[in-house]
Amino acid sequence: MKCKKCGFENKDTAKFCTKCGELLESGGGGDSPEKSSNSTKYVIIALVIVIILLVAVMGYFIGSMNSNSQVQANDSQQDASSSVSNDDNAQTQSVSSSQSSSSQTTESKSWELIGTYSGSGSGSQTISVPSGKIMVKLSAYPIKNYATNHLYVTGSNGQSGGVDWGSHSDVETRSDSFTYTSSSSQTFDIDYYETVSWQVEFYRYQ
């Protein structure tokens, strides 16, 4: 190995120049420790950057998946709420329709006047009343309290009603009413005695 300082030729295994004592450099070449250290640092930095990028990419995908899951969950809840709302609306409409129908059915029937008979004095009448649910209303006012003043209404089906006055009764208008149901027409006798006025009304529920 040749000394760079004095040019003396030394053995290849010599570390110092035999002539001047100068430190001899190895001819084997290779990277110096400083260069190796720098290379290692660069490799570590590159690895850290790669790891950071991987973590960022994974975080992005995980966030996207969670967001999609949340959107799907919200859509499902909205669909469920919409379905429940539609069911409630349908039930409400059904109840309203049912109530309306029931109300119309109830309102479609009422007591309707089918005959009125009136007079005064004493006497009797015979009338025919059609079948159905019938209500009879009657009232009378006596001429004077003779204890025999009366108004009686008697049907062929045994139904009857009436008013009368005793010997000590007040001279005043008296009223009575009754109802019955028959599948056929009935005959009624109206008997009245010593009245100023009397009236009998027949109603049918229809």
| C-alpha–C-alpha distance, residues 86 and 205, integer Å | 41
Asked whether residue 137 carries a pLDDT value surpassing 50, the answer given is yes
Asked whether residue 30 carries a pLDDT value surpassing 50, the answer given is no
- The model's pLDDT over 138-187, given as tens digits with 9 standing for 90+, comes to 999 999 877 799 999 999 999 999 999 988 889 999 999 999 999 999 99
* Res 154: pLDDT: 98
Q: Which CATH class is domain 111-205?
A: mainly beta
Give the residue among 148, 152, 163 at the shortest CA–CA distance from 190.
152
Say which residue the tokens 């009879």 belong to.
Answer: 136
Taking residues 3-31, report their average pLDDT: 79
* Res 146: pLDDT: 75
3-state SS string for 158-200: CCEEEEECCCCCCCCCEEEEEEEEECCCEEEEEEEEEEEEEEE
Q: Is 7 left (phi over 0), alpha (psi -120 to 50) or beta?
A: left
Name the residue type at position 30: G
Asked whether residue 66 carries a pLDDT value surpassing 60, the answer given is yes
Report which of residues 34 and 164 the model is more confident about.
164
* Res 140: pLDDT: 97
Q: How does the average pLDDT of the chain come out, rounded?
A: 84
Asked whether residue 52 carries a pLDDT value surpassing 70, the answer given is yes
DSSP 134: E
Q: Is 42 left (phi over 0), alpha (psi -120 to 50) or beta?
A: alpha
Taking residues 104-116, report their average pLDDT: 84
Taking residues 115-144, report their average pLDDT: 97
- The model's pLDDT over 68-77, given as tens digits with 9 standing for 90+, comes to 667 676 666 7
Name the residue type at position 169: S
8 A C-beta contact, residue 163 and residue 140: yes
Residues 6+ apart with CB under 8 A from 131: 182, 183, 184, 185, 186
Name the residue type at position 136: V
